[in-house]
């Protein structure tokens, strides 16, 4: 019924509890999940989840915030994307959040390595005809600009993909939709102070909307502050159903169809 389009089941706090999590998913009617890669080093573990369970799939990519890790070239990503059950490139994108604290006072100009890494992922996605899983935080203008510069606003061989864990403005959502991208909402949409985000969730077309946990992070209300897992994704669906005036079953069906169309290349 429900699909978690973005989770990190290989992370220690989840992989050690995998049997219990899978049981909880079954009880919550969460029948599929996309396991997201954030470094080349962890790809074998992520891919192992996808090949070990018939309701998991995998991505390949390096998160924009990760430093001191293997830097992939286009061919590195293309080769791994060709493996069974790898359905997307990412997560990739840009993260400028906390320039003073998290990034040691560096400037945006100092993060050119992030922008080059993002371009590498876009080129690999276009080469493989697989979608991008995009992370953008405090960097939406550059994220959109680079997508356009790399041809994602033109005709022909566009990668497409999803802006995951969306927390940006309605204006950014419109720009992403104009590029043909999907928008994915996480447990943040249930938070008390997230009314602006709920407003965005209300206007995104139903056929371009996905739901996710980003677990083990961002557990939805009523589990906020706890370790998140894919069995909690129905709470995201319920919140979206409420703001759109739909049943949770309608949101579950639509987001599952969207997952199949985007990642599994199944017709609508």
**Residue at token pair 């943040």:** 188
Instruction: Please tell me the predicted confidence (pLDDT) of residue 155.
Output: 77
Q: Check residues 265 and 27 and name the one with the higher pLDDT.
A: 27
Instruction: Please tell me the predicted confidence (pLDDT) of residue 106.
Output: 74
Number of domains comprising the chain = 1
DSSP state of 220: P
Q: Which domain holds residue 43?
A: 2-263
Q: Which of 107-121, 161-175, 235-249 has the lowest mean pLDDT?
A: 107-121
In a domain, 71, yes or no: yes
Average pLDDT over residues 134-152: 97
Instruction: Please tell me the predicted confidence (pLDDT) of residue 156.
Output: 76
- pLDDT higher than 70, residue 103: no
Instruction: Please tell me the predicted confidence (pLDDT) of residue 266.
Output: 80
Closest-CA residue to 32 (of 230, 229, 185)? 230
In a domain, 85, yes or no: yes
Assigned token pair, 46 = 């992520």
Q: How far apart are CA 18 and CA 26, in angstroms?
A: 12
Q: State pTM to two decimals.
A: 0.96
Q: Which residues of 24-53 are buried (b: 16+ CB within 10 A; e: fewer)?
A: ebeebebebbbbbbbebebbeebbebbeeb
- pLDDT higher than 60, residue 102: no
**Residue at token pair 């203008």:** 141
CATH number at residue 199: 3.20.20.140
In a domain, 195, yes or no: yes
For 159, phi then psi, to 5°, come to -75, -45
- pLDDT higher than 80, residue 98: no
pLDDT classification of 101: cutoffs 50, 70, 90: low
CA Rg value for the chain: 17
Q: What digits encode the pLDDT tens for the residues 178-214?
A: 999 999 999 999 999 999 999 999 999 999 999 999 9
In a domain, 234, yes or no: yes
Q: What digits encode the pLDDT tens for the residues 60-79?
A: 999 999 999 999 999 999 99
Percent of the chain with pLDDT over 90: 92
In a domain, 24, yes or no: yes
């Amino acid at each position: 019924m429900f699909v978690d389009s973005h989770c990190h089941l290989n992370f220690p706090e989840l992989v050690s509890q995998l049997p219990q999590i899978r049981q909880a998913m079954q009880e919550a009617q969460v029948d599929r999940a996309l396991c997201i890669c954030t470094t080349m080093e962890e790809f074998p573990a992520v891919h192992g989840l996808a090949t070990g369970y018939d309701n998991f799939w995998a991505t390949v990519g390096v998160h924009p915030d990760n430093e001191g890790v293997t830097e992939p070239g286009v061919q590195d990503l293309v080769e791994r994307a060709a493996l069974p059950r790898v359905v997307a490139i990412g997560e990739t994108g840009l993260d400028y959040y906390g320039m003073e604290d998290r990034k040691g006072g560096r400037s945006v100009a100092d993060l050119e390595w992030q922008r080059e890494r993002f371009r590498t992922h876009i080129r690999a996605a276009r080469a493989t005809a697989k979608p991008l899983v995009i992370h953008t935080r405090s960097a939406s203008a550059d994220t959109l600009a680079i997508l356009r510069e790399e041809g994602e606003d033109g005709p022909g061989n566009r990668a497409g993909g999803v802006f995951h864990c969306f927390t940006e403005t309605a204006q950014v959502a419109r720009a992403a939709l104009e590029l043909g991208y999907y928008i994915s909402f996480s447990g943040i949409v249930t938070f008390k102070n997230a009314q602006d985000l709920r407003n965005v969730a209300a206007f995104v077309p139903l056929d371009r909307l996905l739901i996710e946990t980003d677990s083990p992070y961002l557990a939805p209300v009523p589990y906020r502050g706890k370790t998140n897992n894919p069995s909690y994704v129905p709470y995201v669906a319920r919140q979206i159903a409420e703001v759109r005036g739909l049943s949770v079953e309608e949101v579950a069906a639509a987001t599952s169809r969207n997952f199949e169309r985007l990642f599994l290349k199944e017709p609508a």
